[in-house]
Structure 1
């Protein structure tokens, strides 16, 4: 679809609904840019052809002007020599060249107007292309931001958040149990250590008593 048809299509339809329903906005802008590049290339070629035609008319006009001047000199020379028949032929040729000269000048003027129009169209196409190029970058930025926000919203959706929260809760509970188990283990070890120290103290005290009794018995016998 050419760019003029696409623009007409969008102008007739509801723009926002058309964009949301049928085409991706960024893809559309890229397509417009491709269409504009094609139209720009055609306009450049047409302008080049027009300039060539202008040069051609300049050459034709110059040729006819020289022919008119030449036939004028020939007619004057023939009259000076009393050769009226030759003078008439020269004057008729002069008139024919003047007629063609008039036609060429009119055609040249029309070609120049076409060239001016093509130049203006080319300028407008270039401006439109640059405008769409900037708008494309803007749309790309907005599209990327919208996608990022969409991903974030999807990640924050309850159906996605709840499993994550439950998973973290299970991990926290597991770590809590591990930590509690470690604390219980440390307390048990401390209790066992203290009990062993008490028993050791008790054993030391009984031994000391027996040694004391033995020592006292030996001292009494002496």
Structure 2
């Protein structure tokens, strides 16, 4: 199967399915585009050569036609001058040039038709190239979407923002633990201060009782009364 036929078959019937089944559709499309570019370059080169050849045939055809017309004029002049021998020679060359012109005409027509057919195929190939190129852009966009989605999934799998939130959770636990320790310490100090205050009151009461007892003792020793 020729490359042109292969490209036509793929682009008309199998390209989408072929690309969907490919593990790397962009690379597959690039390979196909490379084949199409090579085919277009060869076709374009051949087309230019055919144009040159067709033009050469046209020039040869017209040249033979002009020579035939000139020999016809010369034969007419020779007849008028009574030179039948020269007239025959001129007419013989005229017939030869007319035959050459006809052969070149046939070759020219064939070459022109072939060039027109090749030009049509080249235009079709260029259109198909653009079609495949547009599919490359589409699949490139799809592959980029998949790549970004994979990165997003990898980021989610690694924790992503959750990692940062978990760090705040750990910090919250540490702060809460510190607050509990601080609250417990304050309660212990408050309890100590309460006990100290209660102990001071008890000592003062004892001291007053001791003082009263001492005063009574002194009064009794002196035989007086307590003031």
Q: Which has the larger radius of gyration?
A: 2
Q: Aligned partners of 1:122 and 1:61: how far apart in 2?
A: 28
Are 1:178 and 2:174 an aligned pair? yes
Match of 1:51 in 2: 51
TM-score by length of 1: 0.74
Which string of whole-angstrom CA distances, capped at 9 and with x for unpartnered residues, describes residues 106-164 of structure 1? Answer: 111111101111111111011001100111111122233344555666788xxx68x99
Aligned pairs for 1:20-35 (under 5 A) are 20=21, 24-35=24-35
The SS at the match of 1:82 is: coil
Match of 1:78 in 2: 78
1:201 to 185, 193, 197: 197
Q: CA RMSD in A?
A: 4.2
Contact 2:4 2:125 in 1 (8 A): no
Gaps of 5+ in 1: none
Aligned pairs for 1:147-162 (under 5 A) are 147-149=147-149
Q: Aligned partners of 1:5 and 1:113: how far apart in 2?
A: 20
Higher alpha-carbon deviation: 138-147 or 209-218: 209-218
Alpha-carbon shift at residue 42 of structure 1 (Å): 1.0
Higher alpha-carbon deviation: 179-188 or 60-69: 179-188
Contact 2:4 2:39 in 1 (8 A): no
Aligned pairs for 1:27-176 (under 5 A) are 27-149=27-149
Which string of whole-angstrom CA distances, capped at 9 and with x for unpartnered residues, describes residues 156-188 of structure 1? Answer: 8xxx68x99xx99x9799667635532431232
Which string of whole-angstrom CA distances, capped at 9 and with x for unpartnered residues, describes residues 50-73 of structure 1? Answer: 111122122212211220111011
Q: Aligned partners of 2:23 and 2:172: how far apart in 1?
A: 54
Q: Aligned partners of 2:136 and 2:35: how far apart in 1?
A: 14
Cα distance, 1:36–1:106 mapped onto 2, change above 3 Å:
same
Q: Aligned partners of 2:83 and 2:28: how far apart in 1?
A: 77
Contact 2:68 2:94 in 1 (8 A): yes
How many corresponding residue pairs? 213
